[in-house]
Amino acid sequence: MITDVFCKILKGELKADVVYKDNDFWVVKDINPQAPIHLLIIPVKHFTSLEDFMEGDNNGLLGKGLVVAHKVAHQAGIAEKGYRLIINEGEHGGKMVPHLHIHLLGGKRLGPKLVK
């Protein structure tokens, strides 16, 4: 895993293209987009992983993350045609940045397979 660049973005130490912000989530454009729209929904509170997230009392925060995903999909104009949400977890899941995040991909018809 690489360093937690998302904490750096949230602290203002690293520039990013932020498309949405509230007290609980920021949404940034992925630096290496895999689709015409590729956004990352990032909780402001640091959780390394979904495992880490489950250990605390997080008051429906992940549910709110889905509400934010829905909101930014509308904002990006891709809600009607559809999109895909992905969470990569751990080594086999291909997680690179150790800060829980949801990928939102869309803007074209995505491939039929999630797994290569």
CB closer to ligand AMP, 31 vs 54: 31
Q: How far is the CB of 50 from ligand AMP (least distance, A)?
A: 11
The separation between CA 27 and the C-alpha centre of its own chain, rounded to angstroms, equals 7
Q: How far is the CB of 103 from ligand AMP (least distance, A)?
A: 6
Strand order in the sheet with 83-86: 18-21, 25-29, 37-43, 102-106, 83-86
CB closer to ligand AMP, 78 vs 95: 95
Q: Are the C-beta atoms of 49 and 96 separated by less than 8 Å?
A: no
Whether 38 is a known active-site residue: answer no
Classify residue 58 as exposed, middle or buried by CB count within 10 Å of its CB (0-12, 13-18, 19+): middle
- Which of 60, 94, 111, 112: binder of ligand AMP (CB under 6 A)? 94
Q: Are the C-beta atoms of 19 and 27 separated by less than 8 Å?
A: yes
Stretch that binds ligand AMP, among 25-33, 49-57, 69-77, 106-114 (CB under 6 A): 25-33
- Binding site residues, ligand AMP, CB under 6 A: 5, 14, 16, 28, 30-32, 40, 88, 94-97
